[in-house]
Chains A and B, each alone.
Chain A
Amino acid sequence: MARRFKVAVAATAAAALGLSGCGSPSAKNDSGKADTGQIQAQQSATDPDAKGPAPDVAGAKKGGTITVYAQTTPSTLDPTDTYYTDSNEIEKLTFRTPTQYAIRKGQPVLVPDLTDLGTVSSDNLTWTFKMKGTFKYEDGTDVKVEDLAYAVKRSFAHDVFPNGPAYQLSYFKDGDKYKGPYASGDNYAGVETQGTDTLIIHLAKPFSDLPFYLTFPAFTPIPKAKDTKQDYKNHPLSTGPYMFDQFVPGTSLTLKKNPNWDPATDPVRHQYADTWSFKWGGELVSTQQKVLNSAGDDANAIQYEEIDASLVPQLTGEKKKQLLTGESPCLYVLNIDTRKITDINVRKAIAKAQPWDALSKANGNNEYTSEPASTFLPPGVPGHTKYTPFPDLTGTGAGDPEGAKKILTDANKLGFEVSWYYDNTKPIPQQISNIRADAMTKAGFKVKAIGVATADLRAKVSDYDAPVNLNQGPRGWCSDWPTGSSWLPVMFQSKAIDEGTAWGFLQDKTLDQKIEDVAKLPTNEATGKWAALDQEIMGQYVALPWYYTKMAIVVGSGIGGAVGDATVGMPFLPDLFVSS
Chain B
Amino acid sequence: MLLYILRRVLSAISVVIVTVVASFMLFFVAPTDPAGVICGPRCTPERLADITRSLDLDQPALEQIGLYFKGIVAGRTYTAGGVERHCDAPCLGYSYVLGVPVTDLLARAVPVTLSIVIGGATIYLLVGVLVGTTAARLRGTSLDRAAVGSSLVIGSVPYFVVALIIALYATFLPKSQYTSFFQNPGAWASGLLAAWLCLGLTNSASYTRYSRASMIEAMGQDFTRTARSKGISERRVVYRHGLRAAMTPVVTIFGIDVAYQLVNTIFTERIFQLPGLGLRLLNAFNQYDLPVLMGGVIVGAVVLVTMNLVVDILYTVLDPRVRLG
Contact = CB atoms under 8 A, between A and B. Distances in A.
Interface of A: 1, 3, 6-8, 15-18, 69, 73, 75-76, 83-84, 157-160, 162-163, 166, 169, 179-180, 182-184, 229-230, 233-234, 248-252, 279, 281-283, 286-287, 289-290, 293, 295-297, 453-456, 458-459, 462, 474-477, 499-501
> 5 nearest interchain CB pairs?
A159-B81, A183-B82, A282-B273, A182-B82, A455-B31
Contact of A1 (B41, B105, B108): B41
B175 A462 contact: no
20 contacts: A1-B41, A6-B37, A6-B40, A6-B287, A8-B286, A17-B41, A76-B98, A162-B47, A163-B40, A166-B46, A166-B47, A182-B82, A230-B85, A250-B100, A251-B275, A287-B273, A290-B167, A290-B168, A455-B30, A474-B41
B85 to A, nearest CB: 6
A286 B47 contact: no
Given A180-B82, A229-B83, A296-B175, A159 B40 contact: no
Contacts of B100: 234, 249-250
B47 A158 contact: yes
Contact of B168 (A18, A282, A286): A286
Given A7-B287, A182-B81, A75 B38 contact: yes
B108 A248 contact: yes
Contact of B273 (A16, A281, A501): A281
Contacts of A169: 46
Contacts of B31: 453-456
B17 interface: no
A501 B42 contact: yes
A474 B42 contact: yes
B24 to A, nearest CB: 16
A7 B286 contact: yes
B271 A456 contact: no
Nearest to B38: A163
A159 B47 CA distance: 9
Contact of A160 (B83, B171, B273): B83
Contacts of B39: 162-163, 458
Contacts of A283: 270-271, 273
B88 interface: no
B54 interface: yes
B168 A157 contact: no
A287 B274 CA distance: 13
Contacts of A290: 167-168
Interface string B32-75: 11001111111111110011011000000000000000000000
B54 A286 contact: no
A73 B99 CA distance: 13
A250 B280 contact: yes
A16 B32 CA distance: 17
B283 A73 contact: yes
A500 B43 contact: yes
A286 B161 CA distance: 11
A500 B37 contact: no
B81 A179 contact: yes
Contacts of B80: 159-160
Interface string B165-192: 0011001000100000000000000000
Given A162-B38, A250-B97, A296-B171, 19 more contacts: A1-B41, A6-B97, A7-B286, A7-B287, A16-B41, A69-B273, A75-B97, A159-B53, A166-B44, A248-B108, A249-B105, A279-B273, A290-B168, A295-B171, A455-B30, A458-B33, A458-B36, A500-B45, A501-B44
A73 B289 CA distance: 13
Nearest to B33: A455
B129 interface: no
Interface residues of B, number: 47
A12 to B, nearest CB: 11
B279 interface: yes
Contacts of B83: 157, 160, 182, 229-230
A475 B43 CA distance: 12
B78 to A, nearest CB: 9
A454 B164 CA distance: 29
Interface string B266-299: 0000110101000110010011100000000000
Contact of B40 (A3, A76, A230, A287): A3
A192 to B, nearest CB: 22
A367 B153 CA distance: 41
Given A281-B270, A455-B36, A248 B275 contact: yes
A83 B31 CA distance: 26
B20 to A, nearest CB: 21
A157 B81 contact: yes
Contacts of A297: 175
A477 B42 CA distance: 8
Nearest to A476: B41
A416 to B, nearest CB: 29
B287 to A, nearest CB: 6
Given A183-B82, A455-B33, A6 B38 contact: yes
Contacts of A76: 98-99
A234 B80 CA distance: 19
A289 B97 contact: no
A76 to B, nearest CB: 6
Nearest to A5: B40
A202 B36 CA distance: 32
A477 B51 CA distance: 21
A458 B37 CA distance: 9
A16 to B, nearest CB: 5
B108 A251 contact: yes
A500 B288 CA distance: 23
Contact of A286 (B30, B36, B98, B271): B271
B98 A7 contact: no
A459 B33 contact: yes
Contacts of A250: 95, 97-98, 100, 105, 275, 280, 283
B275 A252 contact: yes
A230 B99 contact: yes
Contacts of A182: 81-83
A158 B44 CA distance: 13
B171 A3 contact: no
A3 B54 contact: no
A454 B287 CA distance: 12
B98 A159 contact: no
A183 B82 CA distance: 5
Contacts of B43: 458, 462, 500
From A69, A180, A251, residue with most partner B Cβ within 10 Å = A251
A229 B286 CA distance: 27
A75 B283 CA distance: 11
Contacts of A16: 40-41
B145 to A, nearest CB: 35
A455 B36 CA distance: 8
A158 B275 CA distance: 30
Contacts of B36: 455, 458-459
Contacts of A252: 275
B283 to A, nearest CB: 6
A158 B286 contact: no
B41 A18 contact: yes
Interface in B101-155: 105, 108
Interface in B2-35: 30-33
A407 B285 CA distance: 47
Contacts of B275: 248, 250-252, 281
A162 B51 contact: yes
Nearest to B36: A458
Contacts of B46: 166, 169
Contacts of A162: 38-39, 47, 50-51, 54
Contacts of A499: 44
B44 A293 contact: no
